[in-house]
């Protein structure tokens, strides 16, 4: 296939607010023998994009193409015979024209050339939109609820916040496992959505005392596990809502990073504290295959049903609007950017 010499991408020349995002023209990515070449259809927007844009996570150089998630069509296969003969590669079933999801830095671009091990082959039953909207949050949900804390039937699970893209999928998976889901969110509209999505109890944190409500619901014992994507603003109160021998999973930093704290804080209730990352559970080719298969099975049988908040155009203003909306607290479900048909 003949590729264009130039592509469009969204990059930042420095850290800052959404105004640092700019659509730029770049050379077509260098194609390595072990790479797949992907024509991007949709980009999934995540808080990790915000963290890199703001400098919470450090970019290795500037200008820096941000983004960690996308879906697209395979337009070029590896040429390295060692890769083509690798049993793990062969299990993926890659083919030109096949739909894939990708999880790698630099996805805000029209084309990607990336190592095959980071590419998830999607079945024909999944649309490009859902493939982009569900990869990171879906695999995060499944791996965190298996390995960070293995959610069981009858567990009380607290999710901060339950109406976002990640919270939506965590609520669905926890309910499918028989847990009692308590979710926090900001507005009545989001609360109604969370209840329809399966949450047993919804707490409007701007109007209610979250700690008091959680302890009331759990008869004073607290929850078995907390999945907290908020960070700084909820971390202290989490220790009042977790039960003895409970597990606190710090998922994200939407309100800012968790400040330093003394480890002795964990001893009062023998609490387990984790700050995992999806990449730590999908480090090997076999792990990527396992969690990819698990995700697409749960999407196909409708156990996981991602909600799309809105599709934004692949323009400077469109991407800025997507970032503004994601951080405003107004979104319900997943924010995506449409790049191509």
pLDDT of residue 255: 83
d(CA 157, CA 258): 21
295, 285 contact by CB (below 8 A) = no
Q: What is the mean pLDDT of residues 164-172?
A: 93
pLDDT of residue 329: 80
Q: What is the mean pLDDT of residues 126-149?
A: 97
pLDDT of residue 25: 97
C-alpha torsion 120→278→240→210, nearest 10 = -40
pLDDT of residue 246: 98
pLDDT in tens, 246-286: 999 999 888 888 989 999 999 999 999 999 999 999 999 89
pLDDT band at 123 (very low <50, low <70, confident <90, very high): very high
pLDDT band at 325 (very low <50, low <70, confident <90, very high): very high
Q: Give the max Cα distance, the chain.
A: 65
d(CA 309, CA 67): 18
pLDDT of residue 331: 85
End-to-end Cα separation, the chain, in angstroms: 18
Better-scored residue on pLDDT, 216 or 163 = 216
Taking alpha carbons only, the member of 112, 130, 120 closest to residue 9 is 112
pLDDT in tens, 174-198: 999 999 999 999 999 999 999 999 9
Residue 288 pLDDT more than 90? yes
Return the percentage of the chain with pLDDT > 90, whole number.
Answer: 92
pLDDT in tens, 20-50: 999 999 999 999 999 999 999 999 999 899 9
Taking alpha carbons only, the member of 156, 128, 180 closest to residue 299 is 128
pLDDT of residue 40: 98
pLDDT band at 335 (very low <50, low <70, confident <90, very high): very high
38, 67 contact by CB (below 8 A) = no
pLDDT band at 334 (very low <50, low <70, confident <90, very high): very high
DSSP labels for 245-271?
A: EEEEEE---TT-PPPP--GGGGTTTT-
d(CA 250, CA 232): 10
Residue 330 pLDDT more than 90? no
pLDDT of residue 229: 92
pLDDT of residue 265: 92
pLDDT band at 341 (very low <50, low <70, confident <90, very high): confident
Q: What is the mean pLDDT of residues 312-325?
A: 97
């Amino acid at each position: 296939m003949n590729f264009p010499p130039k592509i469009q991408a969204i990059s930042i020349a420095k850290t800052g607010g959404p105004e640092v995002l700019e659509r730029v023209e770049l050379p077509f990515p260098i194609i390595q023998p072990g790479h797949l070449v992907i024509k991007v259809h949709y980009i999934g927007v995540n808080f990790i994009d915000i963290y890199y844009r703001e400098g919470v996570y450090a970019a290795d150089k500037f200008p820096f193409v941000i983004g960690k998630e996308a879906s697209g069509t395979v337009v070029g296969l590896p040429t390295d015979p060692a890769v083509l003969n690798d049993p793990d590669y062969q299990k993926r079933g890659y083919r030109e024209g096949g739909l894939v999801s990708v999880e790698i830095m630099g996805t805000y671009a029209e084309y990607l050339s990336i190592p095959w091990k980071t590419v998830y082959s999607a079945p024909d039953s999944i649309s490009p939109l859902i493939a982009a909207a569900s990869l990171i949050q879906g695999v995060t949900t499944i791996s965190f609820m298996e390995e960070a804390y293995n959610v069981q039937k009858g567990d009380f699970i607290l999710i901060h916040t339950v109406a976002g893209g990640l919270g939506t999928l965590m609520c669905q998976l926890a309910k499918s496992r028989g847990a009692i889901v308590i979710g926090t969110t900001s507005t009545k509209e989001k609360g109604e959505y969370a209840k329809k999505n399966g949450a047993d109890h919804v707490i409007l944190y701007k109007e209610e005392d979250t700690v008091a409500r959680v302890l009331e619901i759990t008869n004073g014992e607290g929850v078995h596990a907390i999945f907290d994507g908020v960070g700084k603003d909820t971390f202290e109160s989490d220790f009042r809502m977790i039960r003895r021998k409970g597990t606190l999973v710090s998922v994200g930093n939407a309100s800012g990073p968790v400040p330093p704290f003394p480890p002795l804080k964990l001893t009062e209730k023998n609490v387990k504290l984790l700050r995992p990352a999806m990449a730590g559970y999908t480090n090997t080719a076999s792990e990527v295959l396992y969690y990819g298969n698990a995700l697409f099975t749960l999407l196909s049988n409708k156990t996981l049903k991602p909600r799309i908040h809105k599709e934004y155009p692949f323009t400077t203003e469109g991407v800025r609007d997507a970032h503004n909306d994601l951080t405003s607290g107004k979104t319900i479900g997943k924010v995506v950017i449409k790049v191509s048909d």
